Structure 1
Amino acid sequence: LEQPDWHCKIDEGSAGLVASCWSPDGRHILNTTEFHLRITVWSLCTKSVSYIKYPKACQQGIAFTKDGRYMAVAERRDCKDFISIFVCSDWQLLRHFDTETQDLFGIEWAPNGCVLAVWDTCLEYKILLYSLDGRLLSTYQAYEWSLGIKSIAWSPSSQFLAIGSYDEKVRILNHVTWKKITEFEHPATIANTKTIVYKEVEKSPSVETERLSFPPTRALASSLFSTQSKYDVSQVPVSLQYIKPVADRANPKMGIGMLAFSPDNCFLATKNDNIPNAVWIWDIQKLKLFVVLEQLCAVQSFQWDPRQPRLAVCTGNSKVYLWSPAGCVAVQVPLEGDFQIVSLSWHTSGDSMALLSKDNFCMCYLEREEV
């Protein structure tokens, strides 16, 4: 940003490239070569290069601590899984240890950087918790002989670990004993009268006949064919749309596919892939279901505002849905053309977010109320 003309091109040559990411300090780029032969660490300041061998091809094989001091890398060598922990300042190896996994699938640091969660392939429900020096602190296994873990999320305080699995349940572990303190089920019928169910409804905007012109202006044409969304509070019991997965296909759409804690540790948002149009928001203080958002389209992504308990949801259309304890609202993104939002990401300030479609992205700025 200080030198707008500065640019850099990195060429891995014949090794190829399958993944790339920034280091937390923004001064290094980590490239994973084809066939996961190695990870190349490129320094943008000194132009030096470091190599990390045997990275494992898995869903989440690299994890940085929140403070950016350490990096954990999942490795596979001699038909066994290993974890290597590196110091990010000089990329020196700090610890190297094997894991008690059949086929390691992902790793995730606790926000305090003291515990590393390691989970096994979906064919086996198994999560292992390691300390920074490589000691196995605990192992948790909810059941056997069925599809296991699909997603995990640490609470910002590192006190809770939420584990979503293919049996449509979320289990919450505590950080003292690493035992389950509760589990959240995701039934197709919401019967509890204390749960608020917001249902998205659409209506076509009314256009005054005096404003009609031929040919219609571009803005008028887009408004004629667009629909406005709002939320109604449904009376319980409410039956949600439940999709039975196709049993003979790989990667069945079932189980808890998304999990996220609010920044104040008060709420947990979840999505059950069997009920793709719903977002479940749980009260962590009471350990009960608080709110369900029932959308018209399948939920593509959601993310909490990093500054306050405000959840942004997108469903593959041109709207962003925002929920907070005060209520929820649907916001139409003012863009020309068909901008279908499939993913979103908040800025750390909470004042803006990046909205991504298949081919484009845009920045969305939220107005702040003047105090």
Structure 2
Amino acid sequence: MNFSEVIKQSNQVCKVSPDGKYLATCVQYRLVVRDFNTLQIVHLYTCLDQVMHMEWSSDSLFILCAMYKRGLVQVWSLEQPDWHCKIDEGSIGLVSSRWSPDGRHILNTTEFHLRVTVWSLCTKSVSYIKYPKACQKGMDFTADGHYMALAERRECKDYISVFVCDDWHLLRHFESETQDLAGLEWSPNGCVLAVWDSCLEYKMLLYSLDGRLLSSYSAYEWSLGIKSVAWTPSSQFLAIGSYDEKVRILNHITWKKLTVFEHPAIISNSKAVLFKEMEKRAVVGSEDLSVHQLTVGNSLFSTQSKYEITQLPAKVSVVKPDPDHANPKIGISAMAFSADNRYLATKDDNMPQSVWVWDMQRLGLLAVLEQTAPIRCFVWDPRRPRLALCTGNSKVYLWSPAGCVSVNVPVEGSFQVQSLFWHCSGGSLILLSKEQLCLCYMDTEEKDQSTSSDCNFTI
């Protein structure tokens, strides 16, 4: 495992192109495009204001930069650096901007969700979609880019419109059986649209492409309901995380509950492994530059950590939510399936320092990673069953079926990893601090490793 030098960035606005060749970062009002392999600057663009959102087109030929405070969007071309496009929404404002799947249309959502404006880069035509609903996830495209589903709110009722992305004509429009629609998401194969209600009512609705209601699922009533939703890449399972600290798995044949994953405070499952992070401070020599170093007085110290396997049954750290505050930290807030559909990673807000890994073949708990600090972000390798996570310190953590490892980011100064994401090849990690980024190059050689807390990784 090797690390690059640090690179400046602002607001954690950093994206890798879909083809994996370029790395784009924003530094205040400047857009910097680098060759991913060499990190050499290949293009430098100057925007009209500080960039709040940046996104690549699907073919990696254009970059969208949104400046929400000024209601502006600028588009830059990699093939023709002198060409650029500016979209000004004017007094109506701008709250979000994104590409369509074809990479030639831009969808802008105005303030107060008054409308969605579709701008064409090819014909310079403009289309308007009225009544978009302001919700958690009100717009989603199928994986093949053919259709878009949009949540709408008309006359105090929820509706769903399905558009054909080729010419943006309306394919289907139907009323949703929700009280207050909170989000929608297509299955990866584009055959089923999952629609869920607000947290005040537990309701999951599954629609076909033509608007038929395939199934409706509700686990309980009169309590806070759905908090997170995740499809498996194969579309065979739908995971529903709720405020009762449970994950329910629905199958794609009958859309009935297949199993329930609970998150107890005491882990007693004999087939599971609890990896607990243990920290220690040690004096290091001047020749050891592979660890994060802290100067205390006249001594040089390093904070190192490693995982230890805890004997079961064992208790997991639990934080009780404050009932006097809104939006209590309770329930399943994050879920993610591995690329091979084999594993599911979950996070319970009651246990902010732990990530739970479930085996989808035997439908049981496989491992729990308990950190010394709350988990900020976790994400799966897009090619291998390998999970990376960070906790806001100078380390990056990796889990695989072979075990766990904790690695210090060996850069000068303070580099606190706030978030991270994988390169599309799975060969490297992009680590983001508040104002910098660093690339972590993984060892791609496949090695047979036994299940151990001291799993070997090449550094």
What TM bracket, shorter-length normalisation?
A: over 0.9
Q: Give, in angstroms, the shift of residue 19 of structure 1.
A: 1.3
Query: Would you say 1:271 and 2:347 are equivalent positions?
Result: yes
Aligned-partner Cα distance in 1 for 2:156–2:400: 47
Query: Would you say 1:292 and 2:368 are equivalent positions?
Result: yes
Q: Does the 8 A contact of 2:382 with 2:425 survive in 1?
A: yes
Aligned-partner Cα distance in 1 for 2:167–2:427: 34
Structure 1 pair 133–52 and aligned structure 2 pair: CA distance change class (3 A): same
In the alignment of these two chains, the number of paired residues is: 364
State how 1:207-286 maps to structure 2 within 5 Å. 207-208=284-285, 224=300, 226-286=302-362
Aligned-partner Cα distance in 1 for 2:329–2:345: 18
Cross-structure match for 2:110:
33
Aligned-partner Cα distance in 1 for 2:446–2:377: 30
Aligned-partner Cα distance in 1 for 2:415–2:88: 33
Cross-structure match for 1:336:
412
Q: Give, in angstroms, the shift of residue 319 of structure 1.
A: 1.8
State the Cα deviation string for residues 7-62 of structure 1 (Å, max 9, x = none): 33322111111112222233222211100011122223333322211111001111
Cross-structure match for 1:56:
133
Segment drifting more, 331-340 vs 130-139: 331-340
* One-letter amino acid of the structure 2 residue matched with residue 49 of structure 1: V
Q: Give, in angstroms, the shift of residue 245 of structure 1.
A: 0.8
Cross-structure match for 1:153:
230
Cross-structure match for 2:87:
10
Matched residue SS, 2:233: coil
Which one of the candidate residues 83, 98, 102 is aligned to 1:21?
Answer: 98
Segment drifting more, 304-313 vs 46-55: 46-55
Which one of the candidate residues 307, 325, 328 is aligned to 2:383?
Answer: 307
Structure 1 pair 81–362 and aligned structure 2 pair: CA distance change class (3 A): farther
State the Cα deviation string for residues 98-131 of structure 1 (Å, max 9, x = none): 1000000000110000000000000000010000
Aligned-partner Cα distance in 2 for 1:211–1:309: 35
Unaligned runs of 5+ in 1: 213-218
Q: Give, in angstroms, the shift of residue 370 of structure 1.
A: 7.9
Aligned-partner Cα distance in 2 for 1:68–1:350: 24
Q: Give, in angstroms, the shift of residue 338 of structure 1.
A: 2.9
Greater relative contact order structure (CA < 8 Å, 6+ sep): 2
* One-letter amino acid of the structure 1 residue matched with residue 238 of structure 2: L
Structure 1 pair 41–353 and aligned structure 2 pair: CA distance change class (3 A): farther
Q: Give, in angstroms, the shift of residue 211 of structure 1.
A: 6.1
TM-score, L = length of structure 2: 0.75
Cross-structure match for 2:142:
65
Q: Give, in angstroms, the shift of residue 359 of structure 1.
A: 4.0
Segment drifting more, 88-97 vs 125-134: 88-97
Q: Give, in angstroms, the shift of residue 190 of structure 1.
A: 0.8
State the Cα deviation string for residues 156-184 of structure 1 (Å, max 9, x = none): 11111100000000000011111001101
Q: Give, in angstroms, the shift of residue 82 of structure 1.
A: 0.8
Query: Would you say 1:317 and 2:393 are equivalent positions?
Result: yes
Aligned-partner Cα distance in 2 for 1:30–1:157: 28
Q: Does the 8 A contact of 2:283 with 2:302 survive in 1?
A: no
Cross-structure match for 1:47:
124
Aligned-partner Cα distance in 2 for 1:73–1:226: 51
* One-letter amino acid of the structure 1 residue matched with residue 308 of structure 2: D
Cα root mean square deviation, aligned: 2.1
Q: Give, in angstroms, the shift of residue 363 of structure 1.
A: 3.8
* One-letter amino acid of the structure 2 residue matched with residue 109 of structure 1: W
Q: Does the 8 A contact of 2:280 with 2:304 survive in 1?
A: yes
Cross-structure match for 2:54:
none
Cross-structure match for 1:216:
none
Structure 1 pair 7–364 and aligned structure 2 pair: CA distance change class (3 A): farther
* One-letter amino acid of the structure 2 residue matched with residue 314 of structure 1: C
Matched residue SS, 1:178: coil
Structure 1 pair 353–39 and aligned structure 2 pair: CA distance change class (3 A): farther
Query: Would you say 1:366 and 2:442 are equivalent positions?
Result: yes
Between the aligned residues of both structures, percent identity stands at: 71
Q: Give, in angstroms, the shift of residue 330 of structure 1.
A: 1.7
Structure 1 pair 252–220 and aligned structure 2 pair: CA distance change class (3 A): closer
Structure 1 pair 298–362 and aligned structure 2 pair: CA distance change class (3 A): same
Query: Would you say 1:123 and 2:200 are equivalent positions?
Result: yes
Segment drifting more, 85-94 vs 282-291: 85-94
State the Cα deviation string for residues 209-249 of structure 1 (Å, max 9, x = none): x769xxxxxx9667945422221111111111111111121
Aligned-partner Cα distance in 2 for 1:346–1:211: 30
Matched residue SS, 2:172: strand
Structure 1 pair 251–323 and aligned structure 2 pair: CA distance change class (3 A): same
Structure 1 pair 363–21 and aligned structure 2 pair: CA distance change class (3 A): farther
* One-letter amino acid of the structure 1 residue matched with residue 91 of structure 2: S
State how 1:187-206 maps to structure 2 within 5 Å. 187-206=264-283
Q: Give, in angstroms, the shift of residue 90 of structure 1.
A: 1.9
Aligned-partner Cα distance in 1 for 2:300–2:120: 52
Aligned-partner Cα distance in 1 for 2:437–2:92: 30
Stretches of 4+ aligned residues off by more than 6 angstroms: none
Aligned-partner Cα distance in 2 for 1:281–1:225: 33
* One-letter amino acid of the structure 2 residue matched with residue 313 of structure 1: L
Matched residue SS, 1:227: strand
Higher strand share: 2
Cross-structure match for 1:109:
186
TM-score, L = length of structure 1: 0.92
Which one of the candidate residues 171, 181, 185 is aligned to 2:248?
Answer: 171
